[in-house]
Structures are given as C-alpha cells and as structure tokens.
Structure 1
Amino acid sequence: MTIRVLLADDQAMIRASLRIILEDQPDIVVVAEAGDGVAAIEQARRTRPDVCLVDVQMPRLDGIGVARALAGDPARVVMVTTFDLDEYVYGALRGGATGFVLKDAGPGLLVEAVRAAYAGDSLISPSITLRLLRHLTARGDRGAARAPAQPLTPRELQIAQAVARGHTNQEIADHLFISLSTVKGHVSGIQAKLGVRNRVEIAAWTWESRLVGPD
C-alpha cells in the first residue's frame, strides 16, 4: 500500500527536502505541494492525500487553520515545523492535527509520523509532550482530571505514565517487555476511555490526575 502525502510549507527548499526524505521510502509518494494554507486545503480536496504534512506558519492561512478545515476529512494532518511553542502545539492538536513533529527531529521520526498517521495513530515528538507539561506547570493550570468512561487497568495506568514522561511506543515496549502492537493497543484503549485524541492529551490527563509530574 502506497501512502499519498501532501506537503504544505511556504519555503520551496523545505518542501524539496521533505520530498527527498519521504520519497526515499518505498511505501510513500508525494502527490502535491502547497506554499500557503489556502492552497493546501484546495490541493488536499483535489488530490485526496492520505496524510498532509503542514507547517504551522504559512501565508493566507496558518497550519492550525488548515487542520481545522480538514478535520473530519479522510486526510490526516501532521504538523511539521521549526516552532515548538506551546500555543502552537496545543492549538494544532485541538484543531484536529493527529501529530506534531519538529523539523530537526530527524528523517526517521518524520517517516514514522507519516506511517503512524496513515495507520490511524498519532505521533508527537516526545520532547514536545514534556515541554507542554512543564508549560502547564509554570502557568499553574493543573485542573481536575475528567473521570474516564471506564477505569484504566493497572497496565493502562502504567503506559499512560510512560506516555506522560515522553517515552515512545517502542521505548515502552522495550521497558515493559511487551510487543509494540500490544503497546499501541493499550494506547488506543486509553484514548477511548479518556475520550482524547492524542498522546499529549493522555499526558495532560495523567498529570491532572496527580499520577505523574512533568519532572
């Protein structure tokens, strides 16, 4: 199965670099490019990609606006940016983005984010998860956690705590001596019980529940 990707970034050199990284993979093809947010939405609706890699800051409409416009669309939006400011992260994820990866995170994480989005999972740079929790700590925004639809099992609580500490699925699998697919299944189950869409929201719930701190 080939994953069809749209690239949206206002810098042509960045788009060219991302294209080289992605098309070096046998299962990924770039089907369209856009230099601003409005064009990204038009191209997404015309070419029907599986995944849209979208920069946060673009002319005419920013990446958060693109994520909101494509929310519910079959295409999944992953933010790829040099900016890791917390307001961008939170706004993008609330807007419907399924992942958030920094451009300097390396080619491997970028490719993993595309494949995760295609598979219906979300990938957020671990450093961003920790930064967001520390930002909430500094602001004193430690509110009351919502009660889950169903109680989390001891294993799910263990995995939620690991997610809150910024560990990847592979790191969790290695530490707990379980398979990667088992970890993914638990993360999906946690999201369903908590009514959240991504790892940052799992981490925030864990922190609000006093199950782990940002340090």
Structure 2
Amino acid sequence: MTSIAILTVLALGLIGCDGHHDPLGTPTQAVHILCTGGEIMSYEKYAISDKKAIGVVFYVNHSEDISGIGYAVYLHDLPAEAFADSMGVAQGTSADLTAYDGNENTFALYDTQDVSSPMAMQVFDLWHYGQSAYVPSVAQMRLLYAAKGLINPFIAACGGDPLPDEADDCWYWTSTEVEGQETAKAWLYSIGSGAMQETPKIQAHRVRPIITINK
C-alpha cells in the first residue's frame, strides 16, 4: 500500500465512534504516529524524519466520557505474563465492561499490596520513554479491535507487530477483572474475533499496551 493510500484510509477511519467527521487535514486525522518524544505526526512526515515511533493512533476522541484526545497502541506485544502471581485477592479494578479506565486499572494492579501483577509490572517498565502506557480495559480493547484493519499497515510500516487474526494467537489480557469473581478471574479479549473469555488470573497471556494522548 502506498503512503498516499495509507493516509487516505486513516483519514477515513480515525474518527470518533459518535460519527463525527473532521475535515481532512485536521490534526486529529492527519497526525497519527506517536513518537518516543511525544510528537504526533502523519506517517508521511514520520517516514522522512529521524524520530522513533512508539505507537500508532487508533482512536480519536469526541466523547465526554473518555479522557484525553485519543489513544495510541504500542507497536509491540509484551511477553506473556500472569495477571496476578496468586489468586484470592481483588486487585481494585472497576470490573466495568463499559469503562475506559485501563490507566486507572493498571495502577490499581501495580499498587495492590497483597499480590503482585507481573503483567502490570512489565507495562510500567515501558515508562522509560516518558509515555504512560497501560493495559487497556475491555472497552478500550473493543475500540482497538474495531480499528485493527486500519492501523495494521501503519504498525507494520513502523516495524511493529501487527495485531493478529489467528485463533491461537489473538488472546490478550485486559485490565478488567470479572465482576463478582474479582479474586480469581479477569477478562481475556480476542483481537481476532472480538470475543471475551473469563480466565484465571494466574495464567500467562500477552499484553498490548495503549497510551492516552493528552495534547
């Protein structure tokens, strides 16, 4: 796919879920590569720059229910880790399937004293770039799944890992615990089909961090 074709696809696709369309060329559509220094720019501009990409914008916010101006997905998967290193402790996430609260959930997992979250710990290690990456909630994973076809060419062009379609390779942790079973289970999400699965928190699965864009 050419750079022009990619930019056209993104311009059509990166809109809010409320159906709001900005004119072509506005910042929310034309700047879509997130770099380690915090810069956000079009792929065309990024390709001729000396910047290092860290993520690709997958959602532009037009909703009062969502903080920030949008979300970017990290270019790479993180290795499979457990949600918790033992069961029996609720780790303080909201367990709300409609909440865009992955950032708050990830901090709750990190901050819980009675049990450790290997999953959250490795996400916090990404902060050396100065970007507050976190494990997406179920609601945020739904947004990522909806944008997969649009962003995969950009992820690949930036040297990242495209989001998979294969049934055996598409399950990722969310940061949302299962309501009523918070001490034992959290939600896995299939980026291949959009399905969800209640899963014991001591199982190891991959994570795809996201980043809130705040400027």
Q: What TM-score, normalized to structure 2?
A: 0.31
Which protein has the bigger strand share?
2
Larger RCO (CA within 8 A; separation ≥ 6): 2
Q: What TM-score, normalized to structure 1?
A: 0.31
